[in-house]
Structure 1
Amino acid sequence: MNLRDLEYLVALQELKHFRKAAEKCFVSQPTLSGQVAKLEEELGLLLIERTSRKVIFTHAGDELAAKARQILLEVKGLKDMAKSFQAPMAGPLHMGLIPTLAPYLLPQIVPHIRSEFTDMALFLYEEQTHILLQRLEDGDLDCLLLAYLPEMERFGSIDLFDEALVLAIPSQHKWQHQAHIELTELRGEQLLMLEDGHCLRDQAMGYCFAAGAKEDNSFKATSLETLRHMVAAGMGITLLPQLAIPLETEQNGICYRHFSAPEPSRRISLLYRNNSVRRPCFNQLAALIKRHTHFD
């Protein structure tokens, strides 16, 4: 038994498909299948029920795969610890970001990360919050940049900045001449929202519902840019995070208006596993982001 055998088992348990598991492990399907069979022979246990249609793990297989996942995380932790002692900002860093943050924050920080941390190999992943949290927990990602929610208390976190949520309205809207909007003015209004799975949707809905607004259920957007185009077309109003707001307060058929204090906002944080040995790296990375993040 070796670590590669454990990687094959974990990948197969995760994907329930020999070809996909082999592709994830960068080996041929016969190689993966053969090694799993040898592992079963070595342990004297049937780990997988093989059928022509699907892969079914036995109870023993599920238990051993869970233990194998823990072992692989510990091994990764040992390797990360060695790297952190050698040079905290060197080597690969796998960082995940939410879609409502990545396109607007990355252009501001990536050039500085590359110039200041020249020995770092940065790998970026854009996914919805629940997927990122699972990948962080599984050890696939080293850290996340996202909007902090109470359910994230099981992870370590470093607060980066508070980002205001700004109202986007069509250019001919009744509020176009107001410099600021009172949140209570949303009462009775219908707002366009992102589809389920985006944490910004839940945060925006929380503020809107508290103000007496409702969601426009006729349409749910897949991205902020889709929401922006819908507003420009006169289809409704919405809330957008400040990093996504252009310098001009009126542009391309849209007026952007801040709310009067206290403004609705979301807290952007860097998340990591509590037992991660790369905390010195995350501290320096967080300091860089704070220095180089600016709002238009």
Structure 2
Amino acid sequence: MNLPTLRQLEYLVALAETGHFGETARQCGVSQPALSKQVREVEGLLGLTLFERARPRVIVTPAGEDIVARARRVLAGARELVSAADAWSGARRGTLRLGVIPTIAPYGLPGLLAKLRELYPEVSYAIHELQTDVLLDQLRAGAVDLGLLAHPFDAAGLAGPDLVVEPFVLVAPKGHPLATRGALEPEEITGASLILMQDGHCLRDQAIEVCALAGPPPPTSVAAASVSTLVRMVESGLGATLLPASALPVEVRNNQGLVVRGFAKPPPGRTLTLQWRASSPHAQWFADIADVLRSHYLELNPTIPRVSGPKPRIIKAS
């Protein structure tokens, strides 16, 4: 029986992701006619039409959806075969692909890569900023090796330790009903209308959970695509929001007309974790990287500015 090559499977996956022969050819470094020939060869080999040649996009057929999903798993297995060989040889080289959710990346990554490069000088790093659901899909498919994200999520097929618990703080414009001084009691935000992230961001779900603990979830009519946008909305007087403490050194500065309040103890927060595929042969190496990440996050504490009420502090996850 003739089998598709790994390279042909890569073409199928790339074409399904881009939806364009031209873009796929550019990404894969081949000519468009050569790509088209390879795709048709696989279709002929399998006796299936995997792609509907519509214009201007290519549409994946139902059969194609199944075959592409299987191709992703085959490619992930092939990558793990190479990774297993590296693991047996003790090698720490190649490219490590780290997926990070957007509410972590700008605040937890600066300085981290320098530490990892010092420890593993023969390793290069590719950072993928992805929302939680996309990150999990790519992690399971082998498109990324590690995922730095926050609970809760579906951990089926994954492994990895919890790193730290990061507290939330409330940020409000001066003159806002919540812009008072002192520790913030959870019941103060009962029914308050907060500005939150757009759907799909775990920070939105975590903020709604905090509000639910205080009382009925607040009505929200304004949503932001990033933490920076969220803070700018608050700064313009549109309302208050909840932020992870690590964002404060970057997003909140003096003379912005903002009041930042820490929660009364114990503060609500989010648990950050590093995850990898349970089948990965690099579990010990990834666990070492998790230790570096945990220490890095704990070292951020001195950079967190003082707030009204208890100063937020990142702590080791139990």
What TM-score do you get using the length of structure 2 for normalisation? 0.84
Once the two structures are superposed, residues 246-271 of structure 1 have per-residue CA deviations (whole angstroms, 9 ceiling, x without a partner) of 39896521121111122111000001
Alignment of 1:209-288 (within 5 A): 209-212=212-215, 214-246=217-249, 252-288=256-292
Once the two structures are superposed, residues 69-89 of structure 1 have per-residue CA deviations (whole angstroms, 9 ceiling, x without a partner) of 322221111011112223353
Once the two structures are superposed, residues 122-154 of structure 1 have per-residue CA deviations (whole angstroms, 9 ceiling, x without a partner) of 110112111111111211100111112142344
Amino acid at match of 1:195: Q
Of 281, 289, 294, the residue aligned with 2:293 is 289
- Find the aligned partners of 1:73 and 1:165 in 2 and give their Cα distance: 36
Residue 169 of structure 1 and its aligned partner are, at CA, apart by: 1.7
- Find the aligned partners of 1:176 and 1:66 in 2 and give their Cα distance: 50
- Find the aligned partners of 1:43 and 1:185 in 2 and give their Cα distance: 62
Q: Is the 8 A contact 1:48 1:61 kept in 2?
A: yes
- Find the aligned partners of 1:184 and 1:262 in 2 and give their Cα distance: 14
Which has the larger share of strand?
1
Q: Is the 8 A contact 2:101 2:148 kept in 1?
A: yes
Residue 170 of structure 1 and its aligned partner are, at CA, apart by: 1.9
Q: Is the 8 A contact 1:231 1:237 kept in 2?
A: yes
- Find the aligned partners of 2:226 and 2:62 in 1 and give their Cα distance: 40
Amino acid at match of 1:233: S
| Greater Cα offset, 236-245 or 26-35 | 26-35
Seen in structure 2, the aligned counterparts of structure 1 residues 61 and 204 have a Cα distance that, compared at 3 Å, is closer
Question: What residue in structure 2 maps to residue 143 of structure 1?
Answer: 146
Paired residues, number: 296
Question: What residue in structure 1 maps to residue 200 of structure 2?
Answer: 197
Once the two structures are superposed, residues 225-251 of structure 1 have per-residue CA deviations (whole angstroms, 9 ceiling, x without a partner) of 122122222221110001011398965
Residue 223 of structure 1 and its aligned partner are, at CA, apart by: 1.2
Q: Is the 8 A contact 1:104 1:243 kept in 2?
A: yes
Question: What residue in structure 1 maps to residue 211 of structure 2?
Answer: 208
Question: What residue in structure 1 maps to residue 312 of structure 2?
Answer: none
Alignment of 1:60-99 (within 5 A): 61-99=64-102
What TM-score do you get using the length of structure 1 for normalisation? 0.90
Question: What residue in structure 1 maps to residue 25 of structure 2?
Answer: 22
Alignment pair present for 1:128 and 2:131: yes
| Greater Cα offset, 43-52 or 282-291 | 43-52
Identity of aligned residues (%): 38
Amino acid at match of 1:123: A
Seen in structure 2, the aligned counterparts of structure 1 residues 77 and 227 have a Cα distance that, compared at 3 Å, is same
Q: Is the 8 A contact 1:186 1:213 kept in 2?
A: no
**What is the root-mean-square deviation in Å for CA atoms of aligned residues?**
2.4
Unaligned ranges ≥5, structure 2: 305-318
Amino acid at match of 2:280: S
Alignment pair present for 1:106 and 2:100: no
Unaligned ranges ≥5, structure 1: none
